[in-house]
Amino acid sequence: MATKVTIWNEFRHEKTKDAVKKLYPEGMHKVIGDALAKTGDFEITLAALDDPEHGLTEEVLANTDTLVWWGHCAHGEVKEEIVDRVQQRVLEGMGLVVLHSGHFSKIFRRMLGTNCSLKWREVAERERLWNLAPSHPITEGIGEYIELPNTEMYGERFDIPEPDKLIFVSWFEGGEVFRSGCVFERGNGRIFYFRPGHETYPIFYNEQVLKVIANSCKWCAQTVKISTVNAPHCPEPLEKIEEKDIVFGSAGISQTADKL
Ligand code: ZN
């Protein structure tokens, strides 16, 4: 069965910066979506910041197994109510794949609870993403490393909680390193952060980058849908419980509460 993937893009740089427009005339989300659709394994929905409800209506999210997120200059314009909605979907089981500058998105910071700050430099330097988890489904078909000749550098310290699993570590020509592929679990959902994707380089045409995105969309995809918002919290016991001192209980001490 096809994995239902919604690709969310802020979709602003493609309209305002010539260099980005040239690379991604219809948006980065379109290029990623077309590549994923070509595999035959995905049903793709595209969503953008300027769409009504940012393209993330209740209906769209209900029909999403994995949400992919790219944002950069307009994180602040994402409405809190949509962030709440996406957060709840992740907690109930939807997957979330956050790309590149999405590290500063409201949804990523909400899910992780830290500032998610990092160092950066843009001088088209070489990056090598070392594959630390060759047996993980996210790195299926990826060799020892992915090499990108021209990238923006992201450097440590990346202010994130300890990942549940580290999948890639990047080395940069200028000497910095960075945790470029990180897996987190939150509630019933899986989150994958993947670093590549600066808008002025043709990163989303790189076959290995696209392969990792495809693999992660499958691996993060929703397998259960369990809302924990109104979860029952005071259930009737499954077994009959023998009557006890209802005031304090005894904790194994021989005195009863009224003798203390
Ligand atoms: Zn960037």
Domains in the chain, please, with CATH? Answer: 3-220 (3.40.50.880)
Confidence class for position 255, pLDDT limits 50, 70, 90: low
Ligand 1 midpoint to CA 228 (Å): 35
Residue range 56-112, pLDDT digits in tens = 999 999 999 999 999 999 999 999 999 999 999 999 999 999 999 999 999 999 999
How confident is the model at residue 230, as a pLDDT?
83
Ligand 1 midpoint to CA 151 (Å): 8
Ligand 1 midpoint to CA 72 (Å): 7
Ligand 1 midpoint to CA 28 (Å): 13
Query: What percent of the chain lies above the pLDDT cut of 90?
Result: 88
Ligand 1 midpoint to CA 202 (Å): 12
Cα gap 51→11, rounded to integer Å = 10
Ligand 1 midpoint to CA 147 (Å): 17
Query: pTM for the complete prediction?
Result: 0.93
Ligand 1 midpoint to CA 32 (Å): 16
Question: Do β-strands 165-172 and 189-194 pair in parallel, antiparallel, or remain unpaired?
Answer: unpaired
Ligand 1 midpoint to CA 111 (Å): 21
Ligand 1 midpoint to CA 26 (Å): 18
Supply φ then ψ for residue 17, to 5 degrees: -110, 120
Residues 6+ apart with CB under 8 A from 226: 92, 93, 188
Ligand 1 midpoint to CA 232 (Å): 43
Residue range 202-251, pLDDT digits in tens = 999 999 999 999 999 999 999 999 998 887 788 889 999 888 766 777 77
Ligand 1 midpoint to CA 225 (Å): 33
Residue 257, SS3 per DSSP: helix
| Cβ pair 93, 226 in contact under 8 A | yes
Helix (H) / strand (E) element for 191: namely: strand 189-194
